[in-house]
C-alpha cells in the first residue's frame, strides 16, 4: 500500500513523509520544489519532481506506483500574495487540486486527505470555532481552499471516493528528532519570524496590532505542533482504510496564545532579548482564532503529544539554529 504525498518536500509535507516512513508505510512524494527541498525527505521516500497539475504525469504515477491514497499538501500558502495575485492561488490551489482529484477518480484511488485551513472561517463570530461555523474566507487563499473542499464534497457524493479535509490552525514547531523543520526563506509566520530575529537573521521584528479586545491587546491564535498535525493525518488515513466516511475536521488544540505571549516565550526559550517594534494591525488579521477540536479527537482518536507552547517554540528554535549552522557551513565551503 503506497501513499502519494503531494507537496511532500515542503514544511508540513516533509514531516508527513517522516511520520509515515517511521510508521513503516511506503511513500512516494510528488513536488515541483518551488518552495520545498529534496533534502528534507527521508531516504526511504521516493521523490518525483513534477507538478500536481500535470495530469499525464499524475495518471502514470497513480497507476505505476499502485497508489492507494493521496495526501495533498501541494499549494501556494502566502495569504497577502493571494490578495495581490489571486489567479495564482485559484490556479495552483483550486485548478491543480481539481486536476489531481480527477486523476484519482479516473485511476480508482478512493482515499484522499486534503490540507485545508482555518482561513476558511475568516473572522469567526465566536471561538472556539466548530466545523459548522459560517465559511467566509477573507482572502483568495482561504477561498481557493474552500473551493477545493466543495469540489471534494461533490465528487465524493458522485463517485467511489472518500476524503478528509483537515482545517489547520497555526502550524508551528519542527520534528523533535531534528530531521526536518520550516525551511522556507522569507516566511511570515510569527514563531519562525521571532526565532529568526532571536538568531540575528533579522535586525528586529514587528508586532502587528496591540489594540485588539484580547487578554493583552494582541491577536490570539491556536498554535499546533507540526508533529501532532501530521499524526492527525496518519490517523485520518487509517480511518479511511477502515471505511470511514468523508469528513471535515479542525486541527488545533482549542487553546489560544497572544502574539505578545509567543514573543515572550521565544525570548525565554532562546535566552536572547531582541527588538520588537509595535506596528499597526496587519490587513485581514482576525483578533482571535481558536479551534474547537472535539471532532478530530472523537473521530480520529487524536491525542496531541506536544500541546505546550514552550515545547513548540523549543523545537522551532532548535531547527532555526540548525538552518543557521547550515548556512554558515555552506558559506565557508563555497
Ligand X SMILES: O=c1ccn([C@@H]2O[C@H](COP(=O)(O)OP(=O)(O)O[C@H]3O[C@H](CO)[C@H](O)[C@H](O)[C@H]3O)[C@@H](O)[C@H]2O)c(=O)[nH]1
Ligand Y SMILES: NC(=O)c1ccc[n+]([C@@H]2O[C@H](COP(=O)([O-])OP(=O)(O)OC[C@H]3O[C@@H](n4cnc5c(N)ncnc54)[C@H](O)[C@@H]3O)[C@@H](O)[C@H]2O)c1
Task: Tell me the β-bridge partners of 71.
Answer: 5, 113
When binding is defined by CB under 6 A, the residue of 53, 205, 230, 232 that contacts ligand X is: 205
Judge whether 231 and 180 are in contact, CB under 8 Å: no
Q: Per rule CB under 6 A, is residue 163 in the interface with ligand Y? A: no
Draw the binding track, 239-278, toward ligand X (x: CB under 6 A; -: no contact): --------------------x-------------------
Cβ 139 to ligand X, closest distance in Å? 9
Q: Which one, 193 or 266, has the nearer CB to ligand X?
A: 193
Is the CB of 15 or the CB of 260 nearer to ligand Y?
Answer: 15
Q: Is 118 an interacting residue with respect to ligand X (CB under 6 A)?
A: yes
* Cα–Cα dist 164/152, whole Å: 9
33 binds, among ligand X, ligand Y, none (CB under 5 to 8 A by kind): ligand Y
Nearer to ligand X, 219 or 235 (CB): 219
Q: CB atoms < 10 A from the CB of 130, how many?
A: 15
| CB distance 135 to 121 below 8 Å | yes
- Give the residue numbers annotated as catalytic, written as ranges: 141
Minimum CB–partner distance for residue 281 and ligand X (Å): 7
Site string for ligand X, 173-202 (x = CB under 6 A): ---------------xxx--x---------
x/- letters, 104..133, toward ligand Y (CB under 6 A): -----------x-x----------------
CA distance 151 to 154: 5
What one-character-per-residue DSSP string does 91-139 give? IIIIIHHHHHHHHHHHHT--EEEEEEEGGGG-S-SSSSBPTTS----SS
109 binds, among ligand X, ligand Y, none (CB under 5 to 8 A by kind): none
263 binds, among ligand X, ligand Y, none (CB under 5 to 8 A by kind): none
Using CB under 6 A, which residues numbered 22 to 51 contact ligand Y? 30-36, 51
**Residue 190 contacts residue 279 (beta carbons within 8 Å):** no
Which set of grid coordinates corresponds to residue 146? 474552500
- Quick check: 137 binds ligand Y (CB under 6 A)? no
| Whether the Cβ atoms of residue 245 and residue 161 lie closer than 8 Å to each other | no
Tell me the three cell numbers of residue 85. Answer: 495575485
Query: Taking CB under 6 A as the rule, does residue 184 contact ligand Y?
Result: yes
Q: Using CB under 6 A, pick the residue from 58, 70, 73, 270 that binds ligand Y.
A: 73
Choose the contact partner of 31 out of ligand X, ligand Y, none; CB within 5 to 8 A by kind.
ligand Y
* 48 close to 30: Cβ distance less than 8 angstroms: yes
Contacting residue, 3, 4, 5, 10, with ligand Y by CB under 6 A:
10
Which of 111/189 has CB closer to ligand X? Answer: 189
Largest Cα span, the chain:
57
Q: Which of these, 111, 107, 30, lies nearest to 69 by C-alpha position? A: 111
Using CB under 6 A, pick the residue from 169, 253, 302, 317 that binds ligand X: 169
79 binds ligand X (CB under 6 A): yes
* DSSP letter for each residue of 204-225: -EEEE-S-SSSSSSS-EE-EEE
CB 76 within 8 A of CB 82: yes
Q: Which residues bind ligand X (CB under 6 A)?
A: 77, 79, 117-119, 168-170, 188-190, 193, 205-208, 219, 221, 259, 282, 285, 289
Amino acid at each position: 500500500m503506497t501513499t502519494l504525498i503531494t507537496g511532500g518536500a515542503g514544511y508540513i509535507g516533509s514531516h508527513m513523509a517522516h511520520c509515515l516512513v517511521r510508521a513503516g508505510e511506503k511513500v512516494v512524494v510528488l513536488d515541483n520544489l518551488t518552495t520545498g527541498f529534496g533534502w528534507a525527505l527521508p531516504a526511504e521516500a521516493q521523490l518525483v519532481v513534477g507538478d500536481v497539475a500535470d495530469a499525464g504525469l499524475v495518471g502514470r504515477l497513480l497507476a505505476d506506483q499502485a497508489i492507494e491514497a493521496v495526501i495533498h499538501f501541494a499549494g501556494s500558502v502566502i495569504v497577502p500574495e493571494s490578495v495581490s495575485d489571486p489567479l495564482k492561488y485559484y490556479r495552483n490551489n483550486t485548478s491543480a487540486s481539481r486536476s489531481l482529484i480527477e486523476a484519482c477518480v479516473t485511476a480508482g484511488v478512493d482515499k484522499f486527505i486534503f490540507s485545508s485551513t482555518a482561513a476558511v472561517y475568516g473572522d469567526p463570530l465566536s471561538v472556539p470555532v466548530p466545523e459548522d461555523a459560517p465559511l467566509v474566507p477573507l482572502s483568495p487563499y482561504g477561498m481557493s481552499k474552500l473551493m477545493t473542499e466543495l469540489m471534494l464534497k461533490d465528487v465524493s457524493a458522485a463517485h467511489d471516493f472518500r476524503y478528509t479535509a483537515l482545517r489547520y490552525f497555526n502550524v508551528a514547531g519542527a520534528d523533535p528528532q531534528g530531521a526536518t523543520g520550516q525551511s522556507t526563506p522569507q516566511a511570515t509566520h510569527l514563531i519562525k519570524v521571532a526565532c529568526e530575529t532571536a538568531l540575528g537573521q533579522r535586525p528586529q521584528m514587528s508586532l502587528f496590532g496591540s489594540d485588539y479586545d484580547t487578554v493583552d491587546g494582541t491577536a490570539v491564535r491556536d498554535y499546533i505542533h507540526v508533529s501532532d498535525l501530521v499524526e492527525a493525518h496518519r490517523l485520518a488515513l487509517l480511518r479511511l482504510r477502515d471505511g470511514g466516511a468523508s469528513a471535515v475536521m479542525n486541527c488545533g488544540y482549542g487553546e489560544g496564545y497572544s502574539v505578545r505571549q509567543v514573543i515572550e516565550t521565544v525570548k525565554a526559550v532562546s535566552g536572547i532579548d531582541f527588538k520588537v517594534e509595535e506596528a499597526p494591525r496587519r490587513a485581514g488579521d482576525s483578533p482571535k482564532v481558536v479551534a474547537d477540536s472535539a471532532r478530530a479527537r472523537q473521530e480520529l482518536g487524536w491525542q496531541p503529544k506536544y500541546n505546550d507552547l514552550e515545547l513548540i517554540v523549543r523545537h522551532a528554535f532548535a531547527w532555526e539554529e540548525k538552518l543557521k549552522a547550515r548556512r554558515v557551513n555552506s558559506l565557508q565551503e563555497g
